[in-house]
Amino acid sequence: MSDAFSTARDAFNAWRSDYPVDLYAADPHLDLVNDRYLDDDRLAGVREMGAAFGRTVVEDLGPLVESYQRHDPELEKYDGLGNRTEEIRFDPAYHEAGALVWASGLLRDAGTPGLSFEQATTFYLASLEGEMGHMCAATCTTGMTRVLRRSASDEIGETYLPSLTAVDYTEALRGSQFLTEVQGGSDVGSVASPAVDRGDGTWRISGEKWFCSIADADAFLVLARPEGAEPGTRGLGCFLIPRHIDSALNGFSIRRLKDKLGTVSMASAEIDFDDAVGYPIGDVSAGFKIMVTAMLNTSRWMNALGDAGIMRRAFLESSAYARHREAFGQRIADFPLVRRQIAQIKAEWLATLHSTWHLTALDEAVDLGTADAADTAFHRYLVNANKLTCSLAATQTVRESLEILGGNGAIETFSVLPRLLRDAVVYEQWEGTHNTLTAQVLRDLGRLDLTGAVIDRTATLLKGIADPELGRVASRALAGFEEIAFETRHSIDSPAHGAMHFRSTLERMVRAHQVALLLDAAEGGGPLAEELAAAAEFLTGRYLDTGYRAEQDPSFPSVVERLLGNDLD
Ligand SMILES: Cc1cc2nc3c(=O)[nH]c(=O)nc-3n(C[C@H](O)[C@H](O)[C@H](O)COP(=O)(O)OP(=O)(O)OC[C@H]3O[C@@H](n4cnc5c(N)ncnc54)[C@H](O)[C@@H]3O)c2cc1C
């Protein structure tokens, strides 16, 4: 055999073995964001938990996930005797993986307000595997836990919360959320499923739900319209529907499982309800508000955590590959185009990490009930705007990283990247499409008069950068941000025009906030300060400084090198 073959294959093996065993220790940027928001005791706890779970992800979760990706769940409507069961069969490894995710304490932590960073760290680490099959279930179960904590009667809370927050997967209750109907997902106000009051504390729910993820869940949170309620979102009630009542199926049947692009290990279905018993959660005329504030805002936060994990993995895969793969007699890491591309992947990952950890702080304060009016307003804005920007960036980043692997990037058995790409696209679609999030933020900014608060926060952060070198980048970002602020005000004053253009304005608004957070972190000093400052400068040139052309900036290569640090050495 030619030496060339074995040399190339050795390089592949070296690339694979570069994957860290301790995902937390290998990720000083993750530790830095935790350090920015947590006191010493809590940080020590997160480090310990992250080190243990990070190893589980690499040694156990990853191989399990890999083993069942080709085995789609199957619907078994009847058992062998012809009894209707509506069971979904999974590869046994799927449940083994679920047991690991649940044992991490991710769902236990959902039961107690004030543990959002613990949840964020676990979710991020698990997302490095692209195992959205269980992360979707964990998201919906966290959302249901919060809905019940905040709005359910004591009786419902006492019945369901202990199992929703169990760490033992075999005993745990997993939740799902069904809003979308065939006539509309974004337009939740079009929900037509009727709910009839039985007068005994229960309601009967009927209707067809078009997108039902975690179709094997033990309980579903469903939006339905009480008889005689007004049309639109205001007339909707939120109901908890158990899968079984006294071991019998509770008035539902699964039409079929969806054949999906991504998140394929998890079962998404079309489900019919026919007089299913439902328990009202909170005021039956406030179902939409309950669902948005506790459920959808949680999902949008967790969605971005997943994006950050996906992007971290994309960076790990492509940077290690570039260090080992050779072309034209040199490491591909030494080609300037490759260096620039990997620097961009890193900048996008860091930006998502910092804005999503900032959102985590707000999420925790809102969940604890300690957020003041300004924090509550900023949370309302950021949870939507950040989901939009980070999910778009995740897909783009995985695509860029897949490209670094060349043809091998397109091969399912070669790396995790094809799975990450498919899951990232699904992440873009669920929990609010880009356009609907944009429309909602624009509406919120005008209707709730949030513009000042949102704009001031980023501007204040940028103006507060005192270090002269960092301040130079902050000034450039601030100049771009003034244009963004102008466009935002114009969009609110001229809604017809704004509705057409606001999405790009909004994305740049999030970019400005990300740059401000990166500069603020850089100003804190430490070994990562140089990389953070370079990431801020890179993103400022890419998104905020409209007159900037990297092609005309002789210092651009040094920005790339400072951003990369020794990642490609
Ligand atoms: C794999 C998967 C799993 C899912 N699981 C669930 C689930 O468990 N529970 C659940 O309830 N839903 C679920 N969904 C549904 C998902 O939330 C919806 O698909 C999403 O909300 C969009 O709704 P839609 O598909 O009806 O698109 P539409 O609402 O028809 O939107 C079509 C297009 O029109 C645009 N649009 C709509 N309104 C506006 C507007 N006001 N301004 C500008 N543009 C607009 C949208 O951005 C989009 O580009 C899932 C989806 C997927 C892909």
pLDDT at 259: 96
The tally of CA atoms less than 13 A away on the side-chain side of residue 188 is 24
* pLDDT tens for each residue of 161-170: 999 999 999 9
Residues 314-340: what's their mean pLDDT? 98
Residue 356 reports pLDDT greater than 90: yes
How many Å lie between the centroid of ligand 1 and the Cα of residue 186?
A: 5
- Beta strand pairing call for 219-226 and 175-178: parallel
Q: Are 73 and 88 in contact (CB under 8 A)?
A: yes
Any ligand 1 atom below 6 A from CB of 435: yes
Measure the CA–CA gap between 516 and 528, rounded to whole angstroms: 16
Q: Pick the last residue of a domain from 239, 270, 286.
A: 286
Q: Name the residue among 240, 376, 355, 246 with its Cα closest to residue 304.
A: 355
Any ligand 1 atom below 6 A from CB of 273: no
pLDDT-based confidence at residue 538 (cuts at 50, 70, 90): very high
Residues 107-122: what's their mean pLDDT? 98
pLDDT at 7: 95
Any ligand 1 atom below 6 A from CB of 186: yes
Any ligand 1 atom below 6 A from CB of 190: no
Burial class (CB in 10 A: 0-12, 13-18, 19+), 133: buried
* pLDDT tens for each residue of 31-40: 999 999 999 9
Q: What does the block give as tokens for 291?
A: 């669902």
Q: Which atom of ligand 1 is nearest to the CA of 186?
A: 29
Q: What does the block give as tokens for 25?
A: 């220790």
State the residue range of the domain holding 223: 175-286
User: In the chain, how many domains are there?
Assistant: 2
User: 251 in a domain, yes or no?
Assistant: yes
User: 356 in a domain, yes or no?
Assistant: no
Residue from 88, 135, 177, 180 to probe ligand 1 pocket by mutation (most atoms less than 8 Å from CB): 180
Measure the CA–CA gap between 471 and 519, rounded to whole angstroms: 8
Any ligand 1 atom below 6 A from CB of 430: yes
Residues 6+ positions from 106 with CB-CB distance below 8 Å: 119, 122, 123, 126, 138, 142
Q: Are 546 and 490 in contact (CB under 8 A)?
A: no
Q: Are 423 and 262 in contact (CB under 8 A)?
A: yes
User: 33 in a domain, yes or no?
Assistant: no
Q: What is the mean pLDDT of the chain?
A: 96
Q: Which atom of ligand 1 is nearest to the CA of 432?
A: 21
Residues 237-248: what's their mean pLDDT? 97
Measure the CA–CA gap between 519 and 522, rounded to whole angstroms: 5
Measure the CA–CA gap between 168 and 100, rounded to whole angstroms: 9
Measure the CA–CA gap between 279 and 239, rounded to whole angstroms: 5
Supply the CATH number for residue 279's domain. 2.40.110.20
Q: Pick the last residue of a domain from 234, 268, 286.
A: 286
Share of the chain above pLDDT 70, in %: 100
Residue 495 reports pLDDT greater than 90: no
Measure the CA–CA gap between 56 and 106, rounded to whole angstroms: 14
Any ligand 1 atom below 6 A from CB of 438: no
Q: What does the block give as tokens for 505?
A: 């304005």
How many Å lie between the centroid of ligand 1 and the Cα of residue 305?
A: 20
pLDDT-based confidence at residue 526 (cuts at 50, 70, 90): very high
Any ligand 1 atom below 6 A from CB of 436: yes
Q: Are 145 and 113 in contact (CB under 8 A)?
A: no
Residues 6+ positions from 348 with CB-CB distance below 8 Å: 311, 393, 396, 397
Q: Can you say how many angstroms the Cα of residue 352 is from the centroid of all Cα atoms in its chain?
A: 10
Measure the CA–CA gap between 568 and 11, rounded to whole angstroms: 15
User: 440 in a domain, yes or no?
Assistant: yes
Residue 341 reports pLDDT greater than 90: yes
How many Å lie between the centroid of ligand 1 and the Cα of residue 433?
A: 6
Residues 6+ positions from 480 with CB-CB distance below 8 Å: 508, 512, 540, 543, 544, 545, 546
pLDDT at 1: 64
pLDDT at 376: 94
Q: What is the CA radius of gyration of the chain?
A: 24
Query: What string of H, E and C letters represents the secondary structure of 477-527?
Result: HHHHHHHHHHHHHHHHHCHHHHHHHHHHHHHHHHHHHHHHHHHHHHHCCCC
Query: What string of H, E and C letters represents the secondary structure of 218-233?
Result: CEEEEEEEECCCCCCH
Residue 131 reports pLDDT greater than 80: no
Q: Name the residue among 349, 320, 405 with its Cα closest to residue 531.
A: 349
Q: Pick the last residue of a domain from 286, 315, 341.
A: 286
Measure the CA–CA gap between 174 and 167, rounded to whole angstroms: 11
Residues 65-75, buried b or exposed e (16+ Cβ, 10 A)? bbebbeebbeb
Residues 303-312: what's their mean pLDDT? 98
Any ligand 1 atom below 6 A from CB of 263: yes
Residue 90 reports pLDDT greater than 80: yes
Expressed in angstroms, the distance from the first to the final Cα of the chain is 30
pLDDT-based confidence at residue 496 (cuts at 50, 70, 90): confident
User: 328 in a domain, yes or no?
Assistant: no
User: 121 in a domain, yes or no?
Assistant: no
pLDDT at 2: 79
Interior angle at CA 124, CA 120 and CA 129, nearest 5: 155
User: 539 in a domain, yes or no?
Assistant: yes
Strand partners, 237: 224
Measure the CA–CA gap between 43 and 206, rounded to whole angstroms: 47
User: 272 in a domain, yes or no?
Assistant: yes
Residues 456-482: what's their mean pLDDT? 96
Any ligand 1 atom below 6 A from CB of 183: no
Residue 80 reports pLDDT greater than 70: yes
Q: Can you say how many angstroms the Cα of residue 504 is from the centroid of all Cα atoms in its chain?
A: 20
Q: Return the residue matching tokens 């692209």.
A: 130
Interior angle at CA 147, CA 96 and CA 119, nearest 5: 45
